[in-house]
Structure 1
Amino acid sequence: MKNFFTWRLWLVGSLLFLGSQQLVQAQDLIYEPKNPAFGGGNTFNYSWLLSSAQSQNKLEDQDQRKGFERDPLKDFEENLNQQILSNLARKLVASQFGESELQEGTYIIGVYEIVVAPSSDGVSVQVTDTGTGDQTTVVIPFY
């Protein structure tokens, strides 16, 4: 009885295997990108990809949390400091490469202390931010 059952199981398995050979079909594999930003992707996937990325984002935008609050006085101070430094740079370049001369000495403009002194290599300009103590030294060579 045991041999009959084994033989029968083998026969059914063989018939299924041989029968399945006729059912096997092949198909072409085609790559289709999902993200429309990578060219060829479906544009309807864009909103789904964006919402999925935003839902996974755990970082907070500091500007969004503050509501883009800007201090107009701070902006004015930064703008004024940039203009002063830009004007100083123009005068330094004109004095070394033009006809006007830059007088040596110490100048205090806003929060900046500027020391102009001759050196062996040219003119040394030391700019110190009195608020933070940061210093920058620029040596303009002789022309």
Structure 2
Amino acid sequence: MKRTIRNLLLFSTLSTILNVSATELIYQPVNPSFGGNPYNGTHLLNIANAINQYEPDDELGLTAADRLQTTLQSRLLNNLLDDVSSGKSDGGQLETDDFILNVVDDGNGGLTLNIYDKVTGESSIIQVSDPLGN
């Protein structure tokens, strides 16, 4: 009998202590982008960089000569479009190893670009109208 009372008293004491120590769980985000502590940002970025396995290709595998050629073609095309759009010329042509590009000013502030692909033989026409409607 004494043993049963002692076990019952021990059980009721433990259950009371466990019920009293329970608290409400509140979610606190860690990432500062979602409302977490802003001081966690640098730490999270350093962890992400440490586990990042991605190695970018060097300019998609282009050699220095290929990058130079791409840059020169881009600048030549930019100069041609600037000349036509500013009114210095009525049109022009740019020919590369793979493409022939004809730019024609339509006289109403718009441009027509004729692109011919030498490799596939396909042709595309792009018409750009004056965005201001002049």
Q: Distance between the aligned counterparts of 1:9 and 1:94, measured in 2?
A: 103
Task: Give the secondary-structure state (helix, strand or coil) at the position aligned to 1:137.
Answer: strand
Q: Does 1:50 align with 2:36?
A: no
Q: Distance between the aligned counterparts of 2:75 and 2:16, measured in 1?
A: 83
Q: Give the aligned length.
A: 122
Task: Give the secondary-structure state (helix, strand or coil) at the position aligned to 1:138.
Answer: strand
Deviations 1:37-96 (A, max 9, x none): 8426669xx48x728x72xx6x55243xx7x9751110110001101111121122123x
**TM-score, normalisation: structure 1:** 0.51
- Picking from 26, 34, 37, the partner of 1:39 is 37
Q: Does 1:102 align with 2:83?
A: no
**TM-score, normalisation: structure 2:** 0.53
Alignment gaps of 5+ in structure 2: none
Q: Distance between the aligned counterparts of 1:134 and 1:15, measured in 2?
A: 92
**Cα separation, partners in 2 of 1:124 and 1:22, compared to 1, 3 Å:** closer
Q: Distance between the aligned counterparts of 2:12 and 2:85, measured in 1?
A: 91
The list of structure 1 runs, each at least 4 consecutive aligned residues, that deviate by more than 4 angstroms after superposition, is 7-10, 27-38, 40-43, 116-119, 131-136, 140-143
On the 8 A contact 2:103/2:114 being kept in 1, the answer is: yes
Deviations 1:80-131 (A, max 9, x none): 1101111121122123xxxx44158xx3533331335687x86532023435
Q: Distance between the aligned counterparts of 2:38 and 2:22, measured in 1?
A: 22
Greater C-alpha Rg: 1
* Percent identity of equivalent pairs: 18
Q: Distance between the aligned counterparts of 1:70 and 1:84, measured in 2?
A: 20
Q: Distance between the aligned counterparts of 2:40 and 2:91, measured in 1?
A: 67
CA shift, 1:27, in A, is: 6.7
Tell me the equivalent position of 2:102.
Answer: 115
What is the root-mean-square deviation in Å for CA atoms of aligned residues?
A: 4.7
Tell me the equivalent position of 1:3.
Answer: none
Q: Does 1:80 align with 2:77?
A: no
- Matched residue type, 2:37: G
